[in-house]
């Protein structure tokens, strides 16, 4: 009997800890998320600068990374990755990540275990060469609670054209923006399967996702059951809207569904990300006064879309 009580108490403690991990980010905003999107963490993550990614929240909920173009733009501007971390005293103030600030970096995304952070960058391949003109995918790995030097993904992923906006599934399969011919802006969303500790040849996603219009800024769910992305296809509310495509039982992708008026407006919505607890959708929206802000909204309406 005592063992049962002990096990129950242990499970209760673990459950409370897991629940607490999922809600740290709520402390960054005095108002809870609602059914209609609102600005997230005004003055902390959403500022007078140009926020240029969704927040990447670590699996334990204690770190958040995002990318920013500072305004007014300094001479020779570079996009920087900022971060905040949850300490004993609460959330820290935003700071430039230790591996960022010299070259243009953006689009951070955590690996499933939180030990790696993927991002795109214009940094040179070799330390003694000049800055690249195109974006490549890089990552940093954590050791003893510190990020090591950035490492470029292999030439299987990176070439001399655009690679950007990485997002990882729970099995480490990689989805990202890549060059695609005969579509608007030559942007296409690709998938690379992670197998035997390496990434395979990227394959473009089908026409349900890669239409002839601009389709970009992907977010893949942990189980790869849905993909959210921004698209400029003509049936939207105006500019870029967020869409979702669900994977069917036969492993094909369903037709993209517009996320609707709770999310999309005549302004541009992009950079989606769903919180680790699967309850909140984050994204950016263009605004006249602050370029782009980060928004958040309850994500329970996904159940109505997937019917």
- Residue-range definition of the domain harbouring residue 267: 2-305
Cα separations in angstroms, 286 against 109, 176, 202: 21, 22, 30
* CA separation for the pair 86, 165 (Å, rounded): 25
Task: Please count the structural domains in the chain.
Answer: 1
Helix (H) or strand (E) holding 306: none
The token pair that represents 212 in the structure block = 């002839």
Query: Which domain CATH number covers 193?
Result: 2.120.10.30
pLDDT, tens only, 102-157: 999 999 999 999 999 999 999 998 876 666 778 999 999 999 999 999 999 999 99
pLDDT, tens only, 162-180: 999 999 999 999 999 999 9
* CA separation for the pair 241, 215 (Å, rounded): 10
Cα separations in angstroms, 68 against 4, 72, 86, 201, 202: 51, 12, 20, 30, 28
Helix (H) or strand (E) holding 173: none
| Residues of the chain where predicted confidence (pLDDT) is lower than 70 | 1-23, 128-131
Residue 119: predicted pLDDT: 98
Buried (b) or exposed (e) across 52-66, using 16+ Cβ within 10 A? bbbbbbbbebbbbbb
């Amino acid at each position: 009997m005592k063992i049962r009580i002990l096990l129950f108490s242990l499970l209760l403690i673990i459950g409370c800890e897991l629940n607490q991990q999922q809600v740290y980010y709520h402390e960054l905003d005095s108002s809870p998320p609602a059914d209609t999107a609102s600005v997230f963490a005004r003055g902390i993550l959403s500022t007078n600068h140009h926020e240029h990614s969704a927040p990447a929240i670590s699996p334990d909920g204690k770190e958040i990374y995002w990318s920013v173009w500072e305004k007014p733009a300094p001479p020779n501007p570079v996009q920087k990755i900022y971060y905040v971390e949850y300490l004993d005293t609460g959330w820290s103030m935003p700071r430039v990540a230790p591996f960022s600030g010299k070259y243009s970096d953006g689009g951070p995304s955590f690996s499933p275990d939180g030990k790696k952070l993927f991002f795109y960058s214009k940094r040179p391949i070799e330390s003694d060469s000049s800055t690249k003109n195109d974006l490549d995918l890089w990552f940093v790995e954590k050791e003893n609670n510190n990020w090591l030097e950035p490492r470029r993904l292999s030439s299987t992923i990176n070439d001399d054209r655009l690679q950007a906006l990485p997002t990882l599934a729970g099995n480490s399969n990689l989805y990202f923006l890549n060059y695609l011919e005969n579509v608007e802006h030559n942007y296409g969303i690709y998938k690379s399967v992670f197998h035997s500790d390496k990434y395979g040849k990227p394959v473009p996603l089908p026409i349900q996702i890669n239409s002839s219009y601009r389709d970009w800024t992907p977010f893949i769910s942990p189980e790869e059951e849905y993909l959210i992305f921004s698209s400029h296809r003509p049936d939207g509310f105006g500019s870029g809207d967020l869409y979702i495509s669900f994977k069917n039982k036969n492993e094909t992708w369903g037709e993209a569904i517009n996320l609707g008026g709770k999310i999309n407006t005549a302004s541009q919505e992009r950079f989606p990300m769903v919180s680790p607890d699967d309850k909140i959708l984050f994204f950016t929206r263009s605004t006249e006064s602050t370029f782009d802000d980060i928004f958040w909204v309850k994500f329970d309406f996904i159940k109505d879309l997937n019917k």
